[in-house]
């Protein structure tokens, strides 16, 4: 009977309610959706910020590495190992940048009669270059980007020794003309280098006792290619790229991707002015359309295009010289301007961007191109500018 009473009481007792009401479920789901949407937005913003930071870092890295590479070679321009070339002692001449070893000349009486310009440039922003070096555009390797400048640097390797079958130079340190009839050799024949130097390891040092050091001649041409990967013909992957070709040492190679434009201005030391000839810069100029040509039209750096009656953009004056090409030996510094862009378009609003790169002619016209040149795009861009001293050229004139 007690058992039956307990069952009856249990059956009639009100059970406690468990779970959520429909309203509570809906509210909870709504809150969860809001939180998930907010978290998704934060996550998406984080990804976008990370992508933007990565792109900015890539642009900075491309700019930095490009400027570092150009800076190193400009500073070394005109470095010829133990060979010293006093200012005004030889004739600096134009030589085809794609012909290895071109421009060097020597005689018995004068160890070096002529040498090619150590720094040489092509300006493309005023008008397209009419004589683009033929060796910079190589099938499936590079396609020159029209409207961008080209820079030629000549020097020797910083380490002595025969390197391959290319052109080398050797300078005698032996004063005995019976042993060294000539004091300078430039050749691509490894057997031609017979000049001597002092053996400093002997006590006392013994003159004309060891072979003089041999240095590899280096000619590098910096330019912008329309593509990094240029395989398949056309403009390849379409990524503008700073490239360099070392003449006689293979095909053009990539320096940095995303480099869209490049401009050079040259700091000139006037050897004929009262204040010049000391390695100091008297004014900045640009190369003209065809640096090989002299005369009133298409003159190289300066020359008859810069008479004493013409003021430079900075208010200084440059005197005339007999030949426009002669101005290249007066280059003491190089001002480099690079425009670097992303390698792929950014997910944003399309637009344009303008940068001031310097001057486009020797009348001081401001060079401020718009990117892209036509229409709009979604690439983000960065301008980097630096001025580099050609220390080997300037030091020959410093008093």
Closest CA to 142 of 66, 234, 220, 63: 234
Where does residue 233 fall: left (phi above 0), alpha (psi -120 to 50 degrees), or beta otherwise? left
First to last CA, the chain: 128
Averaged pLDDT for residues 23-30: 85
pTM equals 0.80
Give me the numbers of helices (H) and strands (E) for the chain, helices first please. 3, 19
pLDDT digits (tens, 9 = 90+) for 368-391: 999 998 889 989 899 999 999 999
Which residue would you say has higher pLDDT here, 235 or 168?
168
Taking residues 191-215, report their average pLDDT.
90
pLDDT tens per residue, range 68-105: 999 999 999 999 888 777 666 677 777 888 988 888 87
Span 39-70, pLDDT tens digits: 887 877 776 666 666 777 788 899 999 999 99
Q: How far apart are CA 4 and CA 1, in angstroms?
A: 5
Beta strands in the chain (DSSP E): 91-93, 114-116, 119-122, 150-156, 168-171, 184-187, 196-199, 206-211, 214-225, 241-246, 253-257, 259-268, 283-285, 331-341, 353-354, 358-359, 366-367, 370-371, 381-389
* Residue pair 108/182 in contact by the 8 Å Cβ criterion: yes
In angstroms, rounded to a whole number, what is the distance separating the alpha carbons of residues 146 and 256? 18
| Measured distance CA(56)–CA(346) in Å, rounded | 11
Question: What would the two tokens of residue 305 be?
Answer: 């295009």
Distance CA 180, CA 275 (A): 40
- Residue 167 neighbours by CB under 8 Å, 6+ apart: 100, 101, 186, 187, 188, 216, 217, 248
Model pLDDT for residues 285-343, shown as the tens digit of each residue: 887 644 443 333 333 443 323 333 344 444 444 444 444 445 677 889 999 999 999 88
């Amino acid at each position: 009977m007690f058992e039956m009473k307990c069952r009856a009481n249990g059956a009639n007792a009100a059970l406690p309610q468990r779970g959520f009401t429909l309203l509570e479920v809906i509210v909870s789901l709504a809150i969860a959706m809001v939180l998930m949407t907010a978290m998704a937005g934060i996550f998406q913003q984080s990804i976008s910020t990370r992508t933007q930071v990565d792109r900015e870092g890539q642009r900075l890295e491309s700019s930095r590495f490009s400027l570092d590479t150009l800076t190193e070679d400009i500073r070394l321009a005109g470095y010829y190992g133990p060979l010293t070339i006093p200012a005004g002692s030889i004739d600096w001449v134009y030589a085809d940048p794609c012909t290895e070893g071109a421009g060097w000349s020597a005689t018995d009486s004068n160890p070096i009669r002529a040498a090619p310009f150590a720094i040489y440039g092509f300006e493309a922003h005023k008008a397209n270059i009419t004589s683009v070096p033929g060796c910079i555009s190589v099938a499936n390797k590079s396609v020159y980007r029209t409207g961008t400048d080209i820079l030629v640097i000549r020097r020797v390797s910083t380490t002595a020794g025969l390197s391959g079958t290319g052109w080398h130079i050797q300078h005698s340190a032996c004063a005995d003309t019976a042993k060294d009839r000539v004091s300078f050799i430039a050749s691509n024949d490894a057997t031609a280098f017979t000049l001597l130097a002092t053996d400093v390891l002997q006590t006392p040092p013994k003159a004309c006792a060891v072979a003089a050091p041999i240095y590899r001649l280096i000619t590098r041409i910096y330019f912008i290619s329309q593509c990094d990967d240029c395989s398949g013909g056309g403009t390849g992957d379409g990524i503008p790229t700073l490239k360099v070709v070392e003449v006689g040492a293979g095909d053009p190679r990539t320096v940095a991707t995303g480099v869209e434009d490049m401009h050079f201005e040259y700091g000139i030391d006037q050897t004929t002015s009262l204040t010049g000839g000391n390695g100091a810069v008297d004014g900045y100029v640009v190369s003209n359309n065809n640096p090989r040509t002299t005369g009133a039209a298409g003159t190289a750096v300066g020359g008859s295009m810069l008479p004493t009656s013409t003021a430079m953009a900075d208010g200084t004056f440059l005197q005339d010289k007999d030949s426009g090409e002669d101005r290249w030996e007066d280059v003491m510094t190089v001002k480099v301007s690079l425009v670097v862009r992303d390698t792929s378009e950014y997910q944003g609003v399309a637009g344009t961007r303008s940068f001031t790169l310097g001057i486009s002619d020797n009348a001081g016209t401001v060079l401020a191109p718009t990117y892209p040149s036509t229409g709009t795009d979604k690439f983000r861009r960065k301008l980097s500018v630096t001025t580099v001293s050609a220390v080997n050229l300037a030091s020959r004139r410093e008093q």
